[in-house]
Amino acid sequence: MSKKEILLLSAAIGFVIIWILDLRAGTPPEINTFWTRIFYHYSWLMMAVGCLFYFQYVKQIRLKKEEQQKPQPPVMEEKDQKKAARKALLKGKK
């Protein structure tokens, strides 16, 4: 795991903790309707979700780069000469 991935996971966990603490603290008295109460705490949760989505994106890019950099195994030549000649004839080559 790269440093970027570790930081993103840490940030997501931190935002979830802040969201839980914010829910437990309650809402100010001037916020009295249901939807304003929900949206008052919503931003912390969405920051955590955004960090998790970005973590997945960074992880997929890292895995793709590692796969491209991995050396390809050498192709094994056929040791059986008759089998190689048959394959060549089937392909239309001599």
Determine the structural domain holding residue 15 and report its residue range.
3-69
26-50 pLDDT, tens digit per residue, is 778 888 888 887 788 889 999 999 9
Q: Is residue 76 part of a domain?
A: no
CA distance between the termini of the chain:
51
pLDDT tens over the chain, length 94 residues? 889 999 999 999 999 999 999 888 877 888 888 888 778 888 999 999 999 999 999 999 999 999 888 887 766 665 777 777 777 778 775 5
For residue 34, being part of any structural domain is answered with: yes
Do 17 and 63 contact (CB within 8 A), yes or no?
no
| Cα→Cα distances 70→57, 58, 63, 73, Å | 20, 18, 11, 9
| pTM of the entire predicted model | 0.66
Residue at 91 is within a domain: no
- Please state the domain count of the chain: 1
